[in-house]
Amino acid sequence: MKITILTIFPEMFQDFLHTSIVARAIANGLVSVQIRDIREFATGSYRHVDDSPIGGGAGMILKCQPVLDCLEAVRTPQSHVVLTAAAGTTWTQEKAHAFAELEDLILICGHYEGLDERIASHVDEQISIGDYVLTGGELPAMVISDSVIRLLKGSIKAESAAEESYENTLLEYPQYTQPADYKGDKVPEILLSGDHEKIRRWRLMQSLKRTRDQRPDLLARHVFTDEEKALLKTLEEQEASARLLSVFRKRLNVRELGGIETANGRHVRYGCFYRGSAPARFTQDELQAYQQMRLKAVFDFRMQEEQQAFPDPDLPGVMRYSTPAVQEQHQENAPEPMPLEELVKHQENSYAQMQTFFQSFYRQLIFHNEAYAAVFQAMLKGQVPMYLHCTTGKDRTGICCLLILLLLGCSRQTAEADYLTTNAYLQDFIEERLQKDHPDGRISEETRQTYELLLGVKKETVDMVLNAIEAAYPSYEQYFEQEYQISAAQRRKLRKMYLED
């Protein structure tokens, strides 16, 4: 390919032609770039290339004679002549691809107040690089040349060009390099996973998001693939859910299962399974966000006396399930009710006693649980979005959500990790309670552990739950089939309903 640039400031191009990709492309014979000085074609003793506008006006106008004489000196039948001008067609990546197919490209750099209008009739088209004013056309000529040269075969790697912004009318996804953690600002974990397919999908979603947010005009004319449509839908659902959940105070532990990955790489759909504390604890703003979840079902796992003392708000048209996750007779080994600080202060070996109670309590949750069976049946009926809650949304609700994730095909490790996420929501609350109950700052390790057990969740507790299931059944599939009569066909149906394609 040959590019010829006509300018009155040829010195501006010296660094441009000897730098980076342009220099390599010239050295490798992919393109030849010639700079022609329009002043060489000016006439008269002073070789003026400009003059004042006829009829008056500000500034100086580039004369047609030196420009057109220069053009005729380099023009061939194969030449495509372009004038850089504010009135031109906006330069795009699509146009760059078209120009990269040309054999001979001539760029005329405008300057001063403008050019003699008669020059325009001698060019094939006019190009603008944007809606702003520059001193001259030299910078646009460099922009056009650079964007064309990098598209020539051999200039850069084909895969690099294919993934850049504006290819397929999408902006490029975010890029990162080492270190992976710079002063707490971390690279997205998925890029460190080594899973190339997951990384590819993440990058495509980020490209869609960036284009939607920064250049919606490009997205408006983008031709979507089925995968892109699905990813954009997921992105919009994810953002809608995040906006809704951001209203709730962190200590209420209100979140959802959307986006959690299953063992086969699929993800739980957003906006289906919400979980958290009892709505009786919500502020007015939180109640409004709760109503905006557009729930079809609410599951209250609290004891009957809890439900009566702090009833859920009525939501018209929403199915309410109020079967306690643990029946009254299973509470007989519970410690005597008393303020937490008294429990910690006066009971000997309180942590060990509480741990024993919670282990017994959790065992009652995982076998023959009528409340959880109702959740699974509602899932089969498509009663989503649903909201699952107990008092603080950590134990009875946490185990139910753990089982939902296992039912949908998540690994034990993934389901357990989501269960333990409760601690991230309640950590500040636990610390505040410790400081309030112990203003002197004297907090023993056993006291801290007891608070963390009562107000948070423990890995050893969830391990006990999962180990108990695995000890009773050879697989989670058989567990769900025997305990909740969920067949293999129904499991496939649930995964089709609640996992993204």
Q: At what angle do helices 370-380 and 396-407 cross, to 10 degrees?
A: 40
Interval 450-460: pLDDT, tens: 888 888 898 98
Residues 376-385 have a mean pLDDT of: 97
The neighbour count for residue 219, using CB atoms within 10 Å, is 18
77: its two tokens: 């039948």
Beta strands in 163-261 (DSSP E): 181-182, 185-186, 255-256
Give the residue from 464, 466, 487, 467 showing the smallest Cα distance to 477: 487
Helix/strand/coil percentages in the chain, nearest 5:
50, 15, 35
**Which comes out higher in pLDDT, residue 383 or 57?**
383
Identify the band that residue 359 occupies on the pLDDT scale cut at 50, 70 and 90. confident
Q: Residue 127: which residues within 8 A CB-CB, separation 6 or more?
A: 82, 83, 84, 85, 88, 89, 90, 91, 95, 140, 144
What distance lies between CA 70 and its chain's CA centroid? 52
Give the residue from 348, 396, 387, 368 showing the smallest Cα distance to 472: 368
Position 52, amino acid? S
Contact by Cβ (8 Å): 199, 163: no
- Sheet with 79-90: list strands edge to edge: 32-37, 2-7, 104-109, 79-90, 125-128
Identify the structural domains of the chain with CATH numbers, from first to last. 2-162 (3.40.1280.10), 250-498 (3.90.190.10)
Interval 23-50: pLDDT, tens: 999 999 999 999 999 999 999 777 889 8
Backbone angles phi, psi at 370, to 5 degrees: -65, -35
Q: What is the pTM of this model?
A: 0.73
**Average pLDDT across the chain, whole number:** 90
pLDDT of residue 340 exceeding 50, the answer is no
What does the buried/exposed string (b/e) look like for 87-111 if buried means 16 or more CB atoms within 10 Å of the residue's CB?
Answer: ebeebebebbeebbebebbbbbbbb
439 to 259, 338, 351, 452: CA distances (angstroms): 41, 20, 21, 18
Give the residue from 245, 260, 243 showing the smallest Cα distance to 290: 245
pLDDT of residue 208 exceeding 60, the answer is yes
Interval 405-448: pLDDT, tens: 999 999 999 999 999 999 999 999 888 988 888 889 888 888 88
Identify the band that residue 390 occupies on the pLDDT scale cut at 50, 70 and 90. very high
pLDDT at position 216, please? 93
Q: At what angle do helices 445-455 and 422-437 cross, to 10 degrees?
A: 130
Whole-angstrom distance, CA of residue 385 vs CA of residue 383: 6
Contact by Cβ (8 Å): 124, 81: yes
Whole-angstrom distance, CA of residue 344 vs CA of residue 365: 25
